[in-house]
Chains A and B, each alone.
Chain A
């Protein structure tokens, strides 16, 4: 009996940290075959490339831990970026950012409401809001790209804090902050618990719907923040921005070991998932592998990561 427990604990910890081993192995491997891979410039470059999806994936992690799903974040990124640029015609950029974040949180709240209160399956609910939000982007932009020229605002996307790109600073702070929320606060604990068994948590006298909705609010908020960084980096937004980003965010989250059936996950490991996907794309580009092939391989990686999780659960 004791042996069985230890064995299970071992499987559990491999599952939890396997992604780290793979990540480190990959980095070692790449640094050997690609000179300059471990150079400061290249590392910062990879981090900066990861920052937008990284920030978005933090929210996705909360949603998936709560046994939800949110495919509207790509559209929401576009709306946030467009508004962030457009609103600056009327107000200071800081105020625009604030408004955009509120809109993001509200869209998240709507997703949560539809899922937790109206009981629409999360993937369908967010499919609906995804379509609505994308429509709003077209309505807001009139179908044309928007531009902005504001050096202060541009700093968010292009500036440096010492040697470190500012988007990377935001990413690191956000990962640390939300990991803390996940592990050390009531919201984080309840998010995991209700993802594992919502009815049991409800029968423990917890306001489950409130916390369930809150996970979606984090999802929307972080998608909006990613949109702000996106706008500040490019200083222009087309109505097609952010298409497919939700898939990258979800992929990073599940590659990071967050269970698709909810209940367990980690923001830090999601970050590792984001970096992993980015590094792989990076190397493929260096090796000159065609982008079409990259899609196929990326899909295979996602299926392996999720398959490992679901199949090992099934075997139990």
Chain B
């Protein structure tokens, strides 16, 4: 366990030889182990299931599972029949139901994880490392995964389960090791501790209170700034209508795959509309590109920072001024001094930890990268700011800061649409909450609703 940035993933990579270690020793099965690469660790029976999928999308389920462990006929040809029989016996044993001849790219995220687990078992793995395996799974899928983990355990396979989610460890772990700032804080038996103790170990004393304080939401005006009617785009958005008001934080939550990201992109004009209408200040608008949305003062901080929000190899100031570069141009020439000034303002305002305006964004931590992504949109002075999973993969401190920024923005009259699959934070920051299930709105709540109530609606609608 440990917060983001505690060193969990790095530790794993050192363990299996993806990174070189500076010092220290590794023992596996009472023998000193020396892995030069993850492949070598894999051959020795250690398998890592990473956050990202590592399947080959064009190969079928079976082909992926047996990749590198194909069974051969005496003539040296691949023995499809034998492979299939083996597949059947092992998936029956674990109660998996996967379409064996489907290509991996057509599977859901959860199914892909199952394929990876099967692959590990076929390769006679004795030790499975799971790095935040539930990060992209729905509640049901997580249940299933936990049952499988229990099954694996009874088959004498050890599991190193890495997560920052407290609930998960208490359900499945026998022992908990907490990391913080790259150091081991303590290893404890799950039975002998309670949640508060573990939180304290994870975040240290000072942060516990900050985590609890909610930002204050803004007031609601009469006239909706944004109205969407029956938005559609196959397959994920199937008729969504809602209104959003200036000065409110509108939370949108739902399971992974419920269509939250797709909806955000539709409103921002990043994807083509399949149907429906968007109204800004009660006037219908058509967005052919994000530029049209920006011109209507609508902004989106996308879910995937590295892929969609930032140009990682460019400097901080170049990223921040990207949408508003025209403001810094005088007679066709960019004024870098103005850019630096504005960038310094945001560094101060949002407390971005950086060595300066010239730092390349790639070298910033996740939380600070997210602040850069937000800064660049604040400069456009948006009237509607859509934040898609703004706190994913960033540490507690940065999360709290993001909540505070959201609160302040709403107070200043911005309509913030806070999209997140973490119900706990949506409940905390939102004035109003929409629940999205299978591309439709399945519930609406006011501030003060409990997390349990929302989870109930989410799970109900998913059935």
User: Which residue from B312, B313, B376 sits with its C-beta under 8 Å from A204?
Assistant: B376
Contacts A193-B318, A205-B293; A263 near B300 (Cβ below 8 A): no
B322: which of A204, A207, A264 is its contact (CB, 8 Å)?
A204
Do B313 and A200 touch (CB < 8 A)? no
Contact B326 A186 (CB under 8 A): yes
Partner of B314, one of A9, A186, A202, A263: A263
Query: Contact at B311–A197, with CB atoms within 8 Å?
Result: yes
A90 vs B325: C-alpha distance when bound (angstroms): 46
* Least Cβ–Cβ distance between A102 and chain B, in angstroms: 22
Instruction: Please state if B308 and A186 are interface contacts (CB–CB under 8 Å).
Output: no
Q: Quick check: is A293 within 8 A (CB to CB) of the other chain?
A: no
Q: Does B394 contact A (CB under 8 A)?
A: no
Is B300 a contact partner of A203 (Cβ separation < 8 A)?
A: yes
Residues of A within 8 A of B142 (CB): none
Q: Are B309 and A203 in contact (CB under 8 A)?
A: yes
Interface contact A193-B311, CB-CB below 8 Å: yes
**B290 sits at the interface (CB 8 A):** yes
Most buried by B among A6, A9, A189, A202: A189
CB neighbours (8 Å) of B311 from chain A are: 192-193, 196-197, 200-201, 263
B360 and A205 contacting across the interface, CB-CB below 8 Å: no
Which positions 1-50 of chain A face chain B at CB distance < 8 Å? 2, 4-6, 8-9, 12
Q: Is B359 in the interface zone, CB < 8 Å from A?
A: yes
Interface residues on B, range: 20 to 34
Grouping DSSP codes into helix (H, G, I), strand (E, B) and loop, the A interface class, with mixed when no group exceeds half, is helix
Whether B251 sits at the interface, judged by CB under 8 Å, is no
User: Which single member of A189, A199, A205 contacts B318 (CB below 8 Å)?
Assistant: A189
Say whether B334 contacts A186, CB under 8 Å.
yes
In this complex, what residue of B is CB-closest to A6? B355
Q: How far is the CB of B19 from chain A (nearest CB, A)?
A: 11
CB proximity of A197 to chain B, nearest CB, Å: 4
Q: How far is the CA of A197 from the CA of B310 in the complex (A)?
A: 7
A189 CA to B311 CA, complexed, in Å: 12
Q: Does B218 contact A (CB under 8 A)?
A: no
- With a CB–CB cut-off of 8 A, which chain B residues contact A202? 270, 289-290
Partner of B334, one of A12, A185, A201, A207: A185
A184 contacts B by Cβ under 8 Å: yes
A193→B322 contact, CB < 8 A: yes
**How many Å from the CB of A92 to the closest CB on chain B?**
31
B268 CB within 8 Å of chain A: yes
Q: With A185-B332, A185-B334, A263-B313 as given contacts, are A206 and B307 in contact (CB-CB < 8 Å)?
A: no
A185, B291: Cβ atoms under 8 Å? no
Find the residue from B313, B318, B325 having the highest chain A CB count within 10 A. B313
Interface set, chain B 439-455, CB cutoff 8 A to A: none
- Tell whether B212 is near chain A: CB-to-CB under 8 Å: no
User: How far is B329's CA from A190's CA once the two chains are assembled, in angstroms?
Assistant: 13
> A184, B323: Cβ atoms under 8 Å?
no
CB 8 Å contact bits of B14-25 with A (1 = contact, 0 = none) = 000000000000
Binding site for A on B (CB under 8 A): 268, 270, 289-291, 293-295, 300, 302, 307-314, 318, 322-323, 325-326, 329, 332-334, 355, 359-360, 363, 376, 380
List 19 contacting pairs A-B, 8 Å CB cutoff, sorted by A.
Answer: A184-B334, A185-B332, A186-B325, A186-B332, A189-B334, A192-B311, A192-B314, A192-B318, A196-B312, A200-B308, A200-B310, A200-B311, A202-B289, A204-B294, A204-B322, A205-B294, A205-B323, A206-B291, A263-B314
6 nearest A-B residue pairs (beta carbon): A205-B294, A196-B311, A204-B323, A205-B291, A204-B322, A197-B311
